Amino acid sequence: MLKGIPKILSPELLMVLAEMGHSDRLVIGDGNFPAESMGKDAIVIRMDGHGVPEILDAILQVFPLDTYVEHPVSLMEVMPGDPVETPIWETYKEIVRKHDPRGEKAIGTIERFAFYEETKKSYAIIATGESALYANIMLQKGVVTD
């Protein structure tokens, strides 16, 4: 065991986060996200018993967000006409505010199919058991300056 590391971060996930370099992307997918088919060229880590907010909060304790892009955090846009509410996005905003001085200004959205295309270029994908719809989130890694 290690001190100061959130217990939810497995050794496998910590290794992947440490291996990632500046501008590499990490996707945390909800329970409906096609992680395995999107992640053919990425590392897929299964965390089925956990929701996205708890994973996001733990990761952002050790993972710097890219300061060279306007939106290092991207959410999958709701499809036009889809009557889905996204209250989980408010939770994400609170978590990002806690870990990045830009707060919710660091968060942008990507159209659903463009999100899938960007996911195919990601370094890693975390598959979760999150039941909220449109709960997928993409993080772009920054640099450690300390």
pLDDT in tens, 106-116: 999 999 999 99
Round to the nearest angstrom and report the end-to-end CA distance of the chain. 24
Q: If you write DSSP's letter for every residue of 83-136 in order, what string do you get? A: ----THHHHHHHHHHHH-TTGGGGEEEE-HHHHHHHHTT-SEEEEE---STT--
Task: Supply the CATH number for residue 89's domain.
Answer: 3.40.1650.10
Q: Is residue 135 part of a domain?
A: yes
CA 92 to each of CA 43, 71, 145: distance values in angstroms, whole numbers, following the listed order = 23, 14, 24
Number of domains in the chain: 1
Q: Is residue 29 part of a domain?
A: yes
Catalytic residues: 22, 66, 116
The tens digit of pLDDT for each residue in 72-118 reads: 999 999 999 999 999 999 999 999 999 999 999 999 999 999 999 99
Q: Is residue 78 part of a domain?
A: yes
Output the pTM of the full model.
0.96
